[in-house]
Amino acid sequence: MQEAASVQPGKWKLTHNRPECIGCGACAAIAPTFWVMAEDGKSDIIDSHKRDDGWEEIEIEDKDEEINREAAESCPVNVIHLTDTEGKQTI
């Protein structure tokens, strides 16, 4: 039996390498419904799953891909990533 894909059609996986975040705040300024600045000065994905390695991840809808792509592209240290439904990293 084949295992189901981790990202469903019409969805994107948004991941954040939080340990490497420098806390510039660009993501929170661009997409405040998805990003917030934490007390330690780093950004967090709102309502995300916190992994043991410090990364955060959440599944987002197609309609939210563009704003989060803008957030990822604004990140000066490239710690925000979007993965499409086929599992190919796009940002």
Per-domain residue ranges of the chain: 11-83
Band (pLDDT 50/70/90 cuts) for residue 88 is: confident
Q: What is the pLDDT of residue 19?
A: 98
What distance in Å separates the CA atoms of residue 67 and residue 6, rounded to the nearest whole number? 22
For residue 1, name the pLDDT band (cuts at 50, 70, 90).
very low
Q: Which residue has the higher pLDDT, 87 or 5?
A: 87
Determine the topology of domain 11-83 in CATH: Alpha-Beta Plaits (3.30.70)
Please give the full DSSP string across 41-77, using - where no structure is assigned.
S-EEETTPEEPTTS-EEEEEEGGGHHHHHHHHHH-TT
Dump pLDDT digits (tens) for 47-80: 999 999 999 999 999 999 999 999 999 999 999 9
**Residue 86's pLDDT is what?**
78
Q: How confident is the model at residue 5 (pLDDT cuts 50, 70, 90)?
A: very low
Residue with token string 């950004």: 43
Paired residues of 34 in beta bridges = none
